[in-house]
Amino acid sequence: MYADVAVCLPLSRTFVYKLERPVAVGCRVLVEFRRREVEGFIVGLRSDAPKDVEVHGVKNFVDSAPLLRPEIFDLCKWISQYYVSPIGEVLKSALPPGINEKHIARGLKPTTTRLERREGIHVERLPLTADQSRALDSVCNARGFYPMLLHGVTGSGKTEIYMRAAEHFLERSKTSLILVPEIGLTPQLTDRFAARFPGKIAILHSALTKRQRIDEWLRIRAGETPIVIGTRSAVFAPLQNLGMIVVDEEHETSYKQEDVPRYHARDTAVMRAKLSNAAVILGSATPSMESFHNSQRAKYLRIPLTTRVEDRELPDVQIVNMREEYAAQGKQVVLSQRLLQALFTRLERQEQTMILLNRRGFAAFLLCRKCGFTFQCNSCSVALTYHRSIDKLLCHYCGLARRPPSRCPECDSEYIHYVGEGTERLEAEVRQLFPEARIGRLDRDTMRHIRDYERVLGGFRKGEIDVLVGTQMIAKGHDFPRVTLVGVIGADAPLALPDFRAAERTFQLLTQVAGRSGRGDQPGEVVIQSYFPDHYTFQLAVKQRFEDFYGQESRYRRAMFYPPFASLAGIMVTDRDPARAAGLARQIAEFLDSQRSNAIRILGPAPAPLERIKRVHRHQLLIKSSSRSTLHGILDRLQAYIEEKKIGATRVIIDVDPVSLL
């Protein structure tokens, strides 16, 4: 008896080992590999061994039975092929780290994830809106695999549909998997589920300890919790008898894993639903271009929810032209007159306000007014951001911190100027203008732990905070009925990113944050500050015209041959030495060139927009293809070439369907 073993190393091929006793496919073993002992998964069995190589025996057996369910095993095989990721590494990431049979023998622990009810969560059954009922019918009438795009405007009650659908499947002894972008930012969804299905929920998120993760995983596997809510990696949750998968806010970029294996949890969820013959609901007010395109091609069924619950109006959105504001005030201001006035009114009426500024820190960068010197990170090609609370310049990529100099290191002038504003500055500004107002801030600097989210978001929900300022974190699916004003500052910034998805991201962000306003009895208002108010992204976001935006954006994507009208893979070549990075990028480009066909277009090599991160130089190539299978053919050959030439998997990174091109 012999086994094909996939070692948990960045190698795409498998190796043959001899088995002393029978053991099932999917079990983990320890084997000697290149004079080291490594863990691997048995991915196949065979009765003969290759003749020309020496075959070693398996050193040790880790599992006596496979821990992964057969459909998860198949899902991993799909990920490995689709995302060109070594199968051993994929299988490893599908299990909670450190799990072994002792944990199983120990038996189930009572739940360790805390699920207490918070104030302000209503559990009563509400009569569904006509839109909601229609959507629920579509879900409940689904037989087997059935991908749906639940395209519902903000405040249309998508969570209620998820819960009713989960109930429907629960009554039929079927389980449900709910994927969310980030647990800390979706406490309401979690709370509402927990209140509706007490004792039936497991929650998987990144803040769990290793031990908690294993315990939750075992409870799910034992069938104790038929509903699982979790982030990205919960797509591997060992639920049996799966009825439905929900991917909430399906357009969110956090569903993409930016490390090996580089899978997209949304697309992986669709594949899992297919393998499990389950329904799958992708929910969003601003679907990704890809998912909307799939609904246009009838690959997904689009279910529109066009009205807000209780016939609430969508908010009134206005754009302030910041060029005119500058001309009128004769200076650069953070808050326009219009936004100030609207904010003042809210404070008077004791209603709540959210202000989005998608940059943390105090000032965007430091500039010498005399010679134009800017303060860059030594290790990364980005400007350092000034954080006033700690009086430091910080690199947002590598964490470098240094004291801001009082004189220019280039010309010794004293005229150091703080340019651009961040959330810290915004908070200070609002505080100065409205000393009586109670202000909260939500960004990566203030949010260190899940408890920080609870404190700020909970305080805001209870009305202990009047004005919440923050980065895109405040744009997420929050439901605060007392918010009647949303302000957006520096709305243009994301448009300037060198990424073909810049307009899509901007449109999504504006629509999402606007959707936080007017969710209660009072109508909502939104004030967007922009220097380019005529850009189609703003014009269509103001009117919340998603389909027109999709049409406009599609024309650009089609002309430029970008997704969803082409399949895309990014190749990132890295090296600490700039010349070696460039040389390797040329070598890869030559190889790709030798594989070129009509269905392929190659861009690059070129330095990545962020040319250097943590002292590593980065060069980038993009492969576009009109045919998925042609793209995969070329990627497989590239992978084989990288392994054959021993270039090293960390130096050439293949990213299929990349979401970030920086």
Residues forming contacts to ligand ADP in the complex (CB under 6 A) are 126-129, 132, 152, 154-160, 309-310, 477, 479
In the complex with Zn ion, which residue's Cβ is closer, 397 or 562? 397
Beta carbon of residue 402, minimum distance to Zn ion (angstroms, whole number): 11
Residue type, 38: V
In the complex with ligand ADP, which residue's Cβ is closer, 155 or 184? 155
In the complex with Zn ion, which residue's Cβ is closer, 10 or 609? 609
In the complex with ligand ADP, which residue's Cβ is closer, 89 or 252? 252
Member of 78, 373, 536, 641 binding Zn ion (CB under 5 A): 373
Scan for tokens 């066909």, then name that residue: 597
380 counts as binding Zn ion under rule CB under 5 A: yes
Q: Rounded CA gap, 170 and 227, in Å?
A: 8
Q: How many residues bind Zn ion (CB under 5 A)?
A: 15
Q: Rounded CA gap, 306 and 156, in Å?
A: 7
Q: Identify what 291 binds: Zn ion, ligand ADP, none; CB under 5 to 8 Å per kind.
A: none
Member of 118, 200, 370, 455 binding Zn ion (CB under 5 A): 370
**Contact between 639 and 654 (Cβ < 8 Å):** yes
**Contact between 605 and 621 (Cβ < 8 Å):** yes
Scan for tokens 């497989």, then name that residue: 636
In the complex with ligand ADP, which residue's Cβ is closer, 276 or 517? 517
Beta carbon of residue 186, minimum distance to ligand ADP (angstroms, whole number): 10
What DSSP designation does 241 have? S
What DSSP designation does 371 have? T
Backbone phi and psi for residue 638, each to the nearest 5 degrees, phi listed first: -65, -45
In the complex with ligand ADP, which residue's Cβ is closer, 6 or 136? 136
Member of 24, 55, 390, 411 binding Zn ion (CB under 5 A): 411
Member of 340, 400, 493, 647 binding Zn ion (CB under 5 A): 400
Sheet (strand 616-625) strand order: 600-613, 616-625, 567-575, 652-656
545 counts as binding Zn ion under rule CB under 5 A: no
Is the C-alpha dihedral spanning 155, 161, 167, 170 positive or negative? Answer: negative
Q: Rounded CA gap, 46 and 301, in Å?
A: 43
Helix axes of 628-644 and 578-594: crossing angle, nearest 10 degrees: 130
In the complex with ligand ADP, which residue's Cβ is closer, 125 or 369? 125
In the complex with ligand ADP, which residue's Cβ is closer, 126 or 640? 126
Residue-wise over 39-70: b if at least 16 C-beta within 10 A, else e? Answer: bbbbbeeeeeeeeeeeeeebeebbbeebbbbe
Beta carbon of residue 183, minimum distance to ligand ADP (angstroms, whole number): 16
Scan for tokens 């107002």, then name that residue: 437
Residue 359 burial (CB < 10 Å; 0-12/13-18/19+)?
A: buried
Beta carbon of residue 157, minimum distance to ligand ADP (angstroms, whole number): 3
Binding mask 172-211 for Zn ion (x = CB under 5 A): ----------------------------------------
Beta carbon of residue 47, minimum distance to Zn ion (angstroms, whole number): 55
Backbone phi and psi for residue 418, each to the nearest 5 degrees, phi listed first: -90, 115
Beta carbon of residue 163, minimum distance to ligand ADP (angstroms, whole number): 9
Q: Identify what 370 binds: ligand ADP, Zn ion, none; CB under 5 to 8 Å per kind.
A: Zn ion
**Contact between 66 and 27 (Cβ < 8 Å):** yes
Beta carbon of residue 199, minimum distance to ligand ADP (angstroms, whole number): 21
401 counts as binding Zn ion under rule CB under 5 A: no
In the complex with ligand ADP, which residue's Cβ is closer, 322 or 509? 509
User: 299: number of CA atoms within 13 Å, CB side?
Assistant: 11
Beta carbon of residue 129, minimum distance to ligand ADP (angstroms, whole number): 5
Q: Rounded CA gap, 221 and 109, in Å?
A: 13
Q: Rounded CA gap, 217 and 447, in Å?
A: 27
Q: Identify what 400 binds: Zn ion, ligand ADP, none; CB under 5 to 8 Å per kind.
A: Zn ion
Residues lying near Zn ion in the complex (CB under 5 A) are found at 368, 370-371, 373, 377, 379-380, 395, 397-398, 400, 408, 410-411, 413
